[in-house]
Copies of this chain bind each other. A is one copy, B any other.
Amino acid sequence: MTTVPIRSLTAVLDTGRTLLEPALRDAVDLHLGPEMSGIARYHFGWADAEGRPTGTWGGKMVRPTLALLSARAAGAEAAAGLPAAVAVELVHNFSLLHDDIMDGDETRRGRATAWTVFGVPSAILAGDALVTAATSVLMSAECAGARSATLALMTATQRMIDGQAADAEFERREDVTLAECVRMAGDKTGALLGSACALGADLLGAERHLVERLGAFGEHVGLAFQLVDDLLGIWGDPDQTGKQVGADLRVRKKSLPVVAALDAPGTDELHALYLRPEPLTEADVRRVTELVERAGGRDWARGEADRQIIAAKECLSAVDIPDDVRGEFQEVAGFVVGRRL
């Protein structure tokens, strides 16, 4: 029974932001040289391209908020999880800086991406500087689990990199299986989210069972998020997603619902349409949408998202943590999975 009142999502995320922002700024100032920290400050939204301070910070900070909850799950104050929270946010932003270059994306959160402002070489180096700083922050923490946490974060980072590489490779392949696609999503999205949920407890030397269950919780939430994101990429409301209807189909993304449909028997027409080299017309996109749904891709993805959410809840039920922490984990997870739905 919940006896402690569970705080609202806004309150939970606000606490994360209040604690995190100064710590993140300190880490950037301490570990990065002047030019690199200028790019980092721009990327985080704290400064404009000329280095002038801007207003408030736009990041949602889901991952660091989870890392702070993870510390509380281990019985500590949220602030004890700050090195974990800062490290995981640095790794996340390292991946964003490099992703934007790799994808050629020119805007992020409504602002010009760092590589468009500072050039590709400087943005590559700034990403490198953030991932290096992440290790330094975590290793500098005088905590029982600093070594274990650093290794875990590096393993998650390596999986994230593998997932990004696999994602790019799948775009060039015709024979991607659903199992491969699920593993890729787990690596690309689940690994770092799982790491965020486990890292605070790990850093504080919590028992393995707790660290592992919290990590598994985050992995399931990450997969559920990816499934929902892929569903929205096809059937989402453009007003809410900010994307065109069928945006993912138009670029022939091998998203989870599509690969589930391609994997089903009797989908020759879908194969022929989706895997041919010619651009898709609007009529083609509508037809592909219909064929993916008819082959069960939409139902499978919805069902799988539900199964991942149930599995995530089971992970939380399997650990002995304060009720308010459990409730806040659920609030943040619900936000991650449900946003834009």
Binding site for B on A (CB under 8 A): 31-36, 94, 98, 101-103, 120-122, 124-125, 127-129, 131-133, 135-136, 139-140, 146-147, 150-151, 154-155, 157-159, 161-162, 164-166, 168-169, 187
Contact = CB atoms under 8 A, between A and B. Distances in A.
B36 A162 contact: yes
In terms of DSSP, what is the predominant structure of the interface of chain A? helix
A169 B129 CA distance: 16
Contacts of A165: 33, 35-36, 122, 125
B125 A154 contact: no
Given A33-B187, A103-B121, A135-B150, 20 more contacts: A32-B158, A32-B162, A33-B161, A33-B162, A33-B165, A34-B162, A35-B166, A98-B125, A125-B164, A129-B158, A129-B162, A132-B157, A132-B161, A133-B154, A133-B158, A136-B151, A136-B158, A139-B147, A140-B151, A146-B147
A125 B164 CA distance: 8
Contacts of A187: 33
16 contacts: A33-B165, A33-B166, A35-B162, A36-B165, A98-B125, A102-B120, A102-B121, A122-B168, A125-B165, A128-B128, A131-B131, A131-B132, A132-B158, A133-B154, A139-B154, A146-B147
Nearest to A147: B139
Contacts of A36: 161-162, 165
Most chain B beta-carbon neighbours within 10 Å: one of A102, A129, A165: A165
A146 B131 CA distance: 19
Given A136-B151, A139-B150, A151-B136, A161 B121 contact: no
A31 B158 contact: yes
A186 to B, nearest CB: 12
A86 to B, nearest CB: 14
Contacts of A140: 151
B131 A161 contact: no
Nearest to A164: B125
